[in-house]
Amino acid sequence: MSAWEFTAVVWGLSFLAGFLGALTGLGGGVVVVPALTLALGVNIKYAIGASLVSVIATSSGAAAAYVREGFSNIRIGMFLEIATTVGAILGAFLAGRIGTHALAIIFGLVLILAAYYSFKGAPEGDRPIESDALAKRLRLGGSYPVDGKAQEYGVRNVPAGFGLMFGAGTLSGLLGIGSGAVKVIAMDRVMRIPFKVSTTTSNFMIGVTAAASAGIYLSRGFIEPSVAMPVMLGVLAGALLGAKVLVHARVRTLRAVFAFVVLALAIEMIVSGITGKV
C-alpha cells in the first residue's frame, strides 16, 4: 500500500485503540502493538516505540477530562507513580536485550492474566470500603460521582499495590502498553478502589510511566516518526471520545469489553510469537 494508505490505516486502528484504552484504562497500547505487528507487519520494537508515544497522548487527552469530572484520584496516582517510573526504566533497559518473539509471548501471557481478573470481577463488587491504617495515614481515600452524588471510598493493601505497580512499570517499558491492564488490576482487585476510579487514575498515571521509558527507545532508534505520528493522533482522538462515553457507561459492561479485547489479542500475540510471525 502507499504511504498515505498506510497512514490512514494506522490512524484508524489507533483511533479504535485509543477509544478502548480510555474506556478500560489500558492506554491504547494494548491494541496498537498487536495491530501494527500482526496486521501491518511492523517490527514489534518499533510498534512498542510508537505505542509509548501514543500512551503519553492518551494520558494527556483522557486524563484531563477524568480529573475535571472528579473520577481520578490524583493523590493515589502520584504516590503509585514512584513505583511505576522506576519499573519503566528497568523494563526499557531489558527490552533491548530480549528478542521480538519472546516479547510477543510475554505480551500475550500478561494480557491473559489481565483478562481473567477483569472478567472475574472484584470479590465485593464496587461497594465502598473503609481505608486501612496505612491508607488513612497517607490520606489515599476519596470520592467520585455516582448518579450525581459524591460516593466516598477507601483504600486497602497499599504495600501490595505499590509492589504490583513496580511490576506494571516494568511491563510498560518492556512492552510499550502503558501497563494499564496491570494497574487497573492492582487498584481494583488488590487496593479495592472502585473500578471507574481505577481506570481513570490509570489513565492519569500511564503518561508519566511511558515517558520514563520512551526516552530510552528514542535513543536506540525505535521511534519512527512515520509510524508514531499517526498512532499518536489516532489514539488521542479515540481517547477523547472514550473519556466522554466512560462517564455514563456501566461497570459490568466495561469489564466485559476489557476482558474480551485483551483475551483475543493475547491469543494472537502468543501464536504469532511461537510461530515466528512477529
Residue 221: DSSP 8-state:
T
pLDDT digits (tens, 9 = 90+) for 89-130: 888 888 778 877 887 788 788 778 767 766 665 544 455 678
CB 92 within 8 A of CB 216: yes
Q: Which DSSP string corresponds to 195-208?
A: HHHHHHHHHHHHHH
Q: How far is CA 120 from CA 113, 194, 195, in A?
A: 11, 15, 13
Number of domains in the chain: 1
pLDDT in tens, 51-72: 888 877 766 666 777 777 788 8
* pTM (whole model) above 0.85: no
Spatial contact of 111 and 30, defined as CB atoms under 8 Å apart: yes
Dist. CA 16–CA 235, nearest whole Å: 7
Domain hosting 227: range is 3-275
Q: From residue 200, how far is each of 32, 197, 235 by CA, in Å?
A: 20, 5, 16
Tens-digit pLDDT profile for residues 137-158:
999 988 888 877 888 899 999 9
**Do the beta carbons of residue 207 and residue 183 sit within 8 Å?**
no
Judged by DSSP in three states, 153 sits in: strand
Identify the pLDDT of residue 80.
Answer: 92
